[in-house]
Amino acid sequence: MLTEGMRAPEFTLSDKDGNSVSLSDFAGKRVVVYFYPKDSTPGCTRQACAFAAAYEDFRTLDVPVIGISRDSVASHVRFAEKNNLPFLLLSDPERQATEGFGVWQEKKNYGKVTMGVVRSTFVVGPDGIIEKVFPKAKPDTNAAEILAYLRG
């Protein structure tokens, strides 16, 4: 997993509307990039809804929020509409950003070892350098932790 002080890898992924979005589109401003395992699962829904509830606070700080998972664009459309998610959701089926940020890792679940996305959040600075990492982010508190960090 990437750490603070490292350059965030460039990516270009499709949003829920099929538009291409690149990390470089946000050059010159801070951006929150969070990775989550799967649309419409309990933890991922709680995390997304927490970001949605805090969305105006992020807008006031002029910090865009981007959620990334391996789900399809169609899945993101349903997830965003069902939960009224106002921020960007990007589809990463080829794991371009997921592997670039190092969040595709071995996971253990009930003794079974699989590969998957480790829920993690990165604050990328205006210069493209990662300024803060929230590894193994907690769905219910992640958005509030990031806001606290951004407010200093």
Q: What's the whole-number mean pLDDT along residues 5-32?
A: 97
Mean pLDDT of the chain: 97
Q: What's the whole-number mean pLDDT along residues 112-140?
A: 96
> Model's pTM, two decimal places?
0.97
Q: What's the whole-number mean pLDDT along residues 127-146?
A: 97
44 given a catalytic annotation: yes
Q: Do the Cβ atoms of 47 and 142 come closer than 8 Å?
A: yes
Return the ∠ at Cα 123 (arms to 59 and 49), rounded to 5°: 55
CATH number assigned to the domain covering 12-151: 3.40.30.10
Q: What's the whole-number mean pLDDT along residues 25-32?
A: 98
Q: What is the pLDDT of residues 71-113, one digit of tens each?
A: 999 999 999 999 999 999 999 999 999 999 999 999 988 899 9
Q: Please, where are the H alpha helices in 34-141?
A: 42-53, 55-60, 73-83, 96-100
Give the start-to-end residue ranges of the domains of the chain: 12-151
Report the residue count for the chain. Answer: 152
pLDDT at 67 > cutoff 90: yes
* Residue 22 CB partners (closer than 8 Å, separation 6+): 10, 11, 12
Q: What is the pLDDT of residues 41-64, one digit of tens each?
A: 999 999 999 999 999 999 999 999
Q: What's the whole-number mean pLDDT along residues 3-24?
A: 97
Cα(13)–Cα(90) distance, integer angstroms: 6
Output helix, strand, coil percentages for the chain, rounded to the nearest 5: 30, 30, 40
- Which residue in 23, 33, 44, 89 is the catalytic one? 44
pLDDT at 108: 86
pLDDT at 33: 98
SS3 106: strand
